[in-house]
Structure 1
Amino acid sequence: MKNKYSDEDYLLLSGIQHMAFCERQWALIHIEQVWAENVRTMEGNHLHERTDNPFEDETRKDVRAVRAMPVISKKLGLRGIADVVEFQRTNDVLAGVTLRLKNRKGWWRPYPVEYKRGRPKPDDRDAVQLCAQAIALEEMLGISIESGFLYYGQTRHRVEIAFTQELRAHVEQLAGQMHKMMAEGKTPKAKKGKHCSLCSLKEICQPDLTIRHRSVKEYLARMVDLEVKDY
């Protein structure tokens, strides 16, 4: 596959979840380099601690788990780290689906596994991140991956995600938007909704101000001007 992105053009794969949640959140984090911790992000970081040991390799019977595996997609222009990639052994040879692993017998099918705090979401923000990992793995391994798993810390349960054509198309659309916005270097105005209460950047984002078409900078300047006049 011809690489249309240079090394400096690659964006963080994990950012596709931010883009699916809110374009402004993605821009604040990835263009303006702003970040803030809340209970949800702290819990998410804690949940990832057990997976973030680069290249840790664990084999249990017919499953090999590779933790913190670097992945890259030339098609999407994204790179990042997959929490866990599980390789499940099978006796069946499936062309374009199974592969050989060095120093291990049999044929193996890879499945990306992403760890998340809380419960399954009502939208596909977690699924697009998992699917983007699968697309990267497909390019790297030369096979196709039909599904992967999202593990939720609150429910302690896995949810299988099918990588449908619709989901793949959404991933490509989001990745394209990420590159477009990064090239433009502009942060969009807020679109206030129920999701704002779940955002760790709510206080920085100031959705009420931007919806009234005032930037934070303009708001502060106006407040200073009022104070001077009152004095």
Structure 2
Amino acid sequence: MTPPGSRQGGGRELPQVSLSALEHYAYCPRQCGLILLEDTFTDDAATIRGTHLHQRVDTPGNKGRGTVRTLHALPVWHDGYGLTGICDTVELHNNGRILPVEHKSGRYIPGGPADIQAAAQAICLEAMFHQPVPEAAIFSAADRRRHLIPVDDTLRTRVLDTTHAVRTLLETSRLPGPAADSRCRRCSMNTDCMPKLLAGTRRYTKALTALYTTELQDADE
């Protein structure tokens, strides 16, 4: 295994994208932008529960239990894709199976943003251990069970597309517009983002532009 520090063509260093940023961007590009570009983050009850959960699993180390060795807080990366992050838990089975397990405090949403983060962990582990990692797992503290996720071609494409989008965000430093939909009610950064105010401003500006365009067309006629 080699440490992070991948490069693009021409020797230019590839900007690193964190695995956690993939989940934030998949949930809401503006949320990701506020965190990465403006260093803004606000806790609420849900994020505090998540912090307490990770405090229990993010102590570096490894444990053996039967035929499984469990690694906690394992740094991972992928030189070719410019990905870097930390796996909550990685299980190494005697039969060669490698399984990353991402811990979440809330309920699991099939096909949601957490799938992208967990799949990215699997992709990094593949590159580091030089063997396939065909599935990942998400442990939901809310329903106290583990959900297995097949890391198939479709999910791998989602990981790479999201990685490209986050890297573009970092390179352009352009903050995405607000979603102003049902996601905002569950977001701890609602106050920092001000989605309703900004979305309303965009609608007002659009309507005003359309109004003046119509008036100018009428005057020309």
Please indicate, yes or no, whether the TM-score normalized by the shorter chain is above 0.5.
yes
Verify the 8 A CA contact 1:76 1:176 in the aligned structure 2: no
1:146 aligns with 2:134: yes
Counterpart of 2:39 in 1: which secondary structure?
coil
Query: How far has the Cα of 1:209 moved from its partner?
Result: 1.8
4+ aligned runs moved over 4 Å, structure 1: 5-8
Name the structure 2 match of 1:3: 6
Q: Which residue of 2 aligns with 1:12?
A: 18
Contact residue 19 and residue 178 of structure 1 kept, 8 A: yes
Residue 114 of structure 1 is matched in structure 2 by 102
Partner SS state of residue 212, structure 1: helix
The structure with the largest helix share of the pair is 2
Q: 2:65 aligns with which of 60, 72, 77?
A: 60
Task: Provide the residue aligned with 2:57 in structure 1.
Answer: 51
TM-score where L is the length of structure 1: 0.81
- Choose which of 167, 170, 173 in structure 1 pairs with 2:161: 173
Q: Which amino acid aligns with 2:53?
A: L
Superposed CA offset, 1:43-81 (max 9, x none): 001111111112x11010011000000001123312110
- 1:123: how far off? 4.0
Name 2:188's counterpart in structure 1: 200
Give the Cα separation in 1 of the matches to 2:179 and 2:114. Answer: 20
Structure 2 residue matching 1:176: 3-state secondary structure: helix
- After superposition, the C-alpha distances for 1:127-179 in whole angstroms (9 at most, x for unaligned) are 10000011111111111111011101011100000001000000000000000
Matched, 1:41 2:54: no
Task: State the superposition RMSD in angstroms.
Answer: 1.8
Contact 1:67 1:83 (C-alpha < 8 Å) held by counterparts: yes
Could you tell me which amino acid in structure 2 is paired with residue 25 of structure 1?
Q
Amino acid at match of 2:71: V
Hey, what's the Cα distance between the residues in 2 that align with 1:211 and 1:122?
A: 29
2:219 corresponds to which residue?
A: none
Q: Amino acid of the residue matched to residue 37 of structure 1?
A: D
Count of residues in correspondence between the two structures: 196
Quote the Cα distance in structure 2 between the aligned partners of 1:203 and 1:193: 14
Indicate if the aligned counterparts of 1:83 and 1:115 stay in contact, CA closer than 8 A.
yes
User: Where does structure 2 lack aligned partners over 5 or more consecutive residues?
Assistant: 203-221
Contact 2:23–2:117, Cα closer than 8 Å, also in 1:
yes
Identity level (%): 31
Normalising by structure 2, report the TM-score: 0.84
The equivalent of 1:210 in structure 2 is 198
CA distance in 2, matches of 1:26, 1:213: 21
